[in-house]
Chain A
């Protein structure tokens, strides 16, 4: 049974068909990519699977369980971590608080603990802090644990977001353009981070990316989305030489 399976997912925004007949199957530990020109509906696919939108038609199965209509925080707690294209960090919170926050669903001390500072609460908060610090260490941002995120450079913020997504204890990680706005050096770094977390946690990864070099090097399997429809899928080599993909990116040649 695949870890995540999407069957014939279709979504309409009013009369606009944003995604049509999208199918996906990701096994444990697999890295898959989703590419496509701007406005193709890549982020919509992410939002549909992670529960921010509910697909008009189709099924999404996580570990064999249908998660269509389940609220996003529950889907996340079931083992789906994600990052965002435009870094949705919380501007008044420190790095450590970010990572601890992603442990929200793992805390069981409830309101009694929250109100009265019980021993159980202290234990759980301490444990959650320990895990958070380990993740920060892993991503090399432990030295800024008590900084507000807004004071940090972009590359570091990206790492913090990754640490936060990992704190959810995901089985599968969704990365929405993890290298957006990065210079080539940062890009190589990000690639090694992704490889590292992939190996360390045996994660399945599903990523959206614009940079061909990045996708071709990381992914075992790529889908190309154009106007909400998958026009091609296969290994990086196959995609690279697929005439439809070339046409979508570069435009069709004018016949002479």
Chain B
């Protein structure tokens, strides 16, 4: 009993300390964080390589140096992963490039950032949002420009955000457990790839290019929408039989669907069969993926906040009541399912053009586990949760890559801890309001005086 109470006191004190630390930063608006990011990215671009050289690091730490720190994993006492000087060098690098600028710049630009923020906010939410998005892109572009590996991880992470969001529509907002997402991603990836390879490249499978390669970037959106549409149509195969019943049936049927899709592509000789399909033109660049991610977040967020999207919640929480309140439950579920599949297909198309090689084997159970982990880690029924889940799971997965097989012990343990302490995920059941994000944080003076 007393042990428990001391623990809770200790936890309370910890919370207090945390609260005091974060209090300095509560007035930093999104604009402030973006400006800080910009400063950091610029700093790293200018000073990063020489600092790394000075510290004796052979290359720039790509993901905050975790790859260097964990380079030679040791699981015996004293658990030294790399030699101490290297670890120290990485820590100094992170401190100088990231931590110190992060704390200083964000803290001392509060006034400035809020001023810009409120200026833009007064103009219109749209302009404000666009400026934020542009800044975010600038930060990402600068940050990824120094290392191709970092750029690749970033591109894959943004695709993961799209995939996670699309699954959250079904598993979170609609509350049905669907396991068919790898199938939808595969359908999208294959449909898009076949289109672009056949049209714009000379390949052994589909013959000579039908259109000049220079046109490819303009047709890529069409290819992606085609991939999404193909995935949505394939989703009908799951939806029609399973929506007559509820609960476990959808899970089972969707799991079966995933395996069917996998064997379908394994036997589809004209698309490479089990050997896979390679040679996609290099179309999914950072700006293209960024654009589709933002578009996806925007449209999905619009959808889930409309009464049509809220109808999903009503169907999930009590379908009978939803029906009695004029909600067309069947149509609602169908729309959401196809909508989720569409975005999974688009993400699959992007993925195929980042990797530029796909094979049926990569759209199996492991992919499913990955996607589900991102959704449940980030939080059900929450756009922000999906973003957080996808980004953190992806970065974590990459950062722990040198641990090899042990990575699959560390990540599940983290997942289990999240499930114990926050069963619905980190940021569940929260609305994502763009206006709230772009708004300046400091209140007006009148409000300040009142409080």
A binding-site residues for B, Cβ under 8 Å: 50, 52, 71-73, 76-77, 81-82, 84, 88-93, 97, 100-107, 111, 113-117, 121, 125, 128, 164-165, 167-168
**From residue A86, how far is it (CB to closest CB) to chain B in Å?**
10
* Contact indicator A168/B310 (Cβ below 8 Å): no
A100 to B306, CA, bound (A): 10
* Contact indicator B307/A125 (Cβ below 8 Å): yes
* Contact indicator A114/B308 (Cβ below 8 Å): yes
* Closest B residue to A88 using CB positions: B321
Taking A73-B324, A76-B323, A121-B306 as known contacts, 12 extra A-B pairs with beta carbons closer than 8 A to each other, sorted by chain A number, are A71-B323, A73-B328, A84-B320, A88-B321, A93-B314, A101-B311, A101-B322, A104-B307, A114-B306, A115-B302, A116-B299, A165-B325
* Contact indicator B325/A168 (Cβ below 8 Å): yes
Given A76-B324, A91-B317, A116-B299: A101 in contact with B308 (beta carbons within 8 A): no
Can you report 13 residue pairs joining A to B where beta carbons are below 8 Å apart?
Answer: A71-B323, A71-B328, A72-B323, A72-B324, A76-B323, A88-B318, A93-B313, A93-B314, A101-B327, A102-B325, A103-B326, A104-B311, A105-B327
**From residue A95, how far is it (CB to closest CB) to chain B in Å?**
13
* Closest B residue to A117 using CB positions: B302
Contact mask B319-343 → A, CB, 8 Å, 1/0? Answer: 0111111111100000100000000
Which residue of A50, A92, A103, A125 has the most chain B CB atoms within 10 A of its CB atom? A92
Chain B positions within 8 Å of A113 at CB level: 306
Interface membership of B117, Cβ < 8 A = no
* Contact indicator B313/A92 (Cβ below 8 Å): yes
* Contact indicator B307/A101 (Cβ below 8 Å): yes
* Contact indicator B303/A115 (Cβ below 8 Å): yes
B binding-site residues for A, Cβ under 8 Å: 299, 302-303, 306-311, 313-314, 316-318, 320-329, 335, 381, 429
- Return the contact of B307 from the options A81, A82, A100, A115 (Cβ within 8 A): A100
* Contact indicator B381/A89 (Cβ below 8 Å): no
* Contact indicator A97/B310 (Cβ below 8 Å): yes
9 shortest interchain CB distances as A-B pairs = A88-B321, A90-B317, A105-B326, A102-B325, A114-B306, A114-B308, A72-B323, A77-B326, A76-B326
**From residue B368, how far is it (CB to closest CB) to chain A in Å?**
25
* Contact indicator A73/B327 (Cβ below 8 Å): yes
Given A115-B299, A125-B307: A50 in contact with B324 (beta carbons within 8 A): yes
* Closest A residue to B301 using CB positions: A117
